[in-house]
Amino acid sequence: MSTALETPKDMLSILAPDGTVDPEQDPGLDDATLVRMLKVMLQTRIIDERMMTLQRQGRIFFYLASTGQEACSIGTGAAFEDADWCLPGYRQPGLFLWRNVAVKRIVSQCYGNSWDNCKGRQMPVHYSFKDHNMVSISSPIGTQLIQATGVGMAMRRRGDAQAVLTFIGDGGTSSNDFHAGLNFAAVDKAPVVFICENNGWAISCPSTKQTASETFAQKAVAYGMPGIRVDGNDPLAVYVTSRNARERAIKGEGPTLLELVTFRLAGHSSSDDPTRYIGSEVFEAKKKLDPITRFRTYLEAKGLWDADQEEAHRKEARDEVNAAIKENELVPKPELETLFSDVFAEMPANLKACLETEQSARGEGKFP
């Protein structure tokens, strides 16, 4: 029996792989927004490429790239307001850039130096930008979903006209927290938009080993929320579905699950070799669906972009990230005292004693 919550098997797509658009579904974004979306997608790709090079050179220790998935975070980011809260996963640097997080801050977190607002306590790519309403990325898979639900439940009780955005990969849907997060959000009608970036692989485990469901989107039906399958390499389709899900959340109609079908054009992380489990012919085929190529073609056809603009923007983005790297490599490591700060409102006696002992051994006197 058909129900209003039944998920279609087909993906929503507005922008075809050849860059042509379905005029009936085109959201009609203004030219400035379209150009900015492409610029941020390009900047995201350049940062990922540069940071992966740094890891290979041993200048940072770890990195996770979002190569091939840029449309997911930037299409979503364009649909949300800066006042909305976000609990991201590993592959949303484009969302940070969309919200104007400085490249210097992104780079400093990967170095874990004294500029890093986490003071080196987190692994690289585990960003936290409180001033941009972004909660720290967590290493345990799926925990951000229950945290996002909690934020959304609090918002609803306070009457805030805001939504919560959270991301997870296809592999993360196998975690207990996926069930708990979606279940509680649906029961409470919390204003949460759950984004599942289905890139086909949970490290080396294919989606077929993660679930017997035909799609990830249809999992939403069991929880009593809409689930929509979207072409995750189509920035316009991502934008439209994210915007609609946010509007639904703000109206008090509850959460939505969006499955963004994309592909990871790189390894899971700098520690992974995807050629061990994905054939080269698959990568070559998927490169033809590259979201940047698709969106660039669309903007060129509209007369909003050309080769000169691309070259100028790429140079600007490269110069910015290279300057950020140069500056960060001169920044010292966090001071020893930062191990003890930002943990307790008032330092416990045992930690104070530990710090004083260490400072004494260094001949620095007592902690005040």
Predicted confidence (pLDDT) per residue in 281-322, tens digit:
999 999 999 999 999 999 999 999 999 999 999 999 999 999
Helix axes 70-79, 235-250, angle to 10 degrees: 40
- For residue 278, being part of any structural domain is answered with yes
Q: Using the predicted structure, report yes or no on whether residue 1 has a pLDDT greater than 80.
A: no
Q: What residues make up the domain containing 365?
A: 335-368
3-state per-residue secondary structure call for 269-284: CCCCCHHHCCCHHHHH
Task: Compute CA distances 258 → 7, 193, 195, 200, 216, whole Å.
Answer: 11, 8, 5, 15, 9
Mean pLDDT for all residues in the chain: 93
Structure tokens, 214: 């035909």
In the predicted model, is pLDDT for residue 274 greater than 60? Answer: yes
65 closest CA partner among 53, 78, 76: 53
- Active-site residues, by number, are 264, 268, 277
Contact between residue 183 and residue 155 where contact means Cβ atoms under 8 Å apart: no
Q: Determine, yes or no, domain membership for 5.
A: no
Task: Give the chain's domain count.
Answer: 2
pLDDT tens, residue by residue, 156-211:
999 999 999 999 999 999 999 999 999 999 999 999 999 999 999 999 999 999 99
Phi-psi region of 271 (alpha: psi -120 to 50; beta: other; left: phi over 0): alpha
C-beta separation of 194 from 145 below 8 A: yes
Tokens of 185: 């959000």
Among 9-13, 220-224, 268-272, the least confident range: 9-13
290 is a domain residue = yes
pLDDT digits (tens, 9 = 90+) for 82-133: 999 999 998 999 999 999 999 999 999 999 999 999 999 899 999 999 999 9
pLDDT at 7 over 50: no
The H or E element containing residue 62 is none
Residue 351 CA: distances (Å) to CA of 34, 114, 340, 343: 52, 21, 7, 10
Residue 283 and residue 352 share a domain: no
Q: Are residues 267 and 173 in the same domain?
A: yes
Helix (H) or strand (E) holding 167: strand 164-169
User: Helix or strand or coil: residue 125?
Assistant: coil
Share of the chain above pLDDT 70, in %: 96
| Residues 40 and 89 occupy one common structural domain | yes
| Predicted local distance difference test score (pLDDT) of residue 364 | 53
